Amino acid sequence: MPLNDTAIRNAKAGAKQRKLYDSGGLFLLVSPSGGKWWRFKYRFGGKEKLLSFGTYPQVSLKDARDDRDKAKKLLRNRIDPALERKAVKQAESGLGSFDAVAREWLSKFSNSWSTSHTRTIKQRLENYILPNLGTKQINAITAPELLAVLRKIEDRGYIESAHRVKQICGQIFRYAIATGRMERDPAADLKGALTPPKSKRMASIIDPKGVGGLLRAIDDYKGSIVTQCALQFGILTFVRPGELRRAEWEEINFETKEWRIPAEKMKMKTPHIVPLSKPAIAILERIKSLTGQSRYVFPSERSESRPMSENTVNAALRRMGYTKAELTGHGFRSMASTLLHEKGWKSDIIERQLAHQERNKVKAAYNHAEHLPERRKLMQDWADYLETLMRDTNVILLHNKVG
């Protein structure tokens, strides 16, 4: 039987909490201290939940029933009234705007990123997204609204940037979902809606004779010995340029002949092992007398407390006569990948040594040592082949059945 004001006023406190039921899930909770609290019981997503409507007599029976009816209307529209209430409060305080959630997300996760990556993320948000969607409540942003912003980026010819910005927004939306501020990711609904980016290969040399010429040019390099060693070590290890310039002496193990790069320095945030060939070890031994007191194997020319500049390797290549369209430091990776594949090495061993992303994230956390014996052979074979290319001006690709 539904409640009435007389029954509510006369409800006495007992030794335990009492529930006086009205209708439609609404009830009054009477505490042992005499307090009377309105509660609404409902189910959402298969779970039973409770929502508070305040205390009696501040909230009358009529007001409590009105609140219940509003909540039931939200439920009919498949909206959780508890989440809706939270979103309204956040909107009133400004904590539910896209700008606020994006900055909260940045604050929480940017400590695990490199400085350059953090700067890039902030620039993309501030240039493209925040001016258009920053003040809008994050749970009110729709897929068409996001697409309109991304299309503006496309219209300027920045196809790759549009995809990157969509990816960033998706990460922010998923963070908002996890923290109870929205229920779905509108960026996920835009799959296939953007112009596909053109595949872009880093400028590289994959002709054996051209590689031989490059190696001889580096051997004759007249600039800094540290830069020369970085070029040689970069080709031998074919790591990413950022990983190369930020290599630290404490990561090098001369006994095991390994360079162990920690997860925080890797693009995919998983640790990586680089087996060191005999020539790679020789380079490290040569440079140790010059930079061994520094934290970095290849420190900056201006300060040993900082790593080599990100422009140093490419500037050296330009000094040797290689244009940006012909070769970059990142191109050492495709150089190694192409020639090692042509030499007969299995793709999964090459890809693992390149530290390309493992789709299975759980597996990726444990596979940094996967295929390690084969990778040791691969790295030494690569070093031996490079030496052959450098010394023989008439060399052709030597196929061998390995891996």
What's the CA gap between 402 and 382, in Å, rounded?
A: 12
- Residue 161 CB-density burial (10 A; 0-12 exposed, 13-18 middle, 19+ buried): middle
3-state secondary structure of 233: helix
Count the neighbouring beta carbons within 10 Å of the beta carbon of residue 305: 10
What is d(CA 344, CA 67) in angstroms, rounded to the nearest whole number?
72
Question: Is 184 one of the catalytic residues?
Answer: no
Pick the catalytic residue from 356, 361, 363, 391: 356
Pairing relation of β-strands 252-253 and 258-261?
antiparallel
Between CA 94 and CA 87 the distance in angstroms is: 10
- Set 124, 333, 368, 371: catalytic member: 333
One of 181, 240, 245, 343 is an active-site residue; which one? 240
C-alpha span between 377 and 353 (Å, rounded) = 11
322 is catalytic: no
Q: Which of 390, 393, 394 is nearest to 220 (CA)?
A: 390
Catalytic option among 246, 330, 343, 371? 330
Q: Establish whether 330 is a catalytic residue.
A: yes
β-strand partners of 47: 44
Q: Which of 103, 260, 267, 288 is catalytic?
A: 267
End-to-end alpha-carbon separation of the chain, Å? 79
User: Active site includes 319?
Assistant: no
285-299 per-residue burial string, b: 16 or more CB within 10 A, e: under 16 = eebeeebeebebbbb
Q: Is 286 a catalytic residue?
A: no
Q: Is 164 a catalytic residue?
A: no
Active site positions, annotated = 240, 267, 330, 333, 356, 366
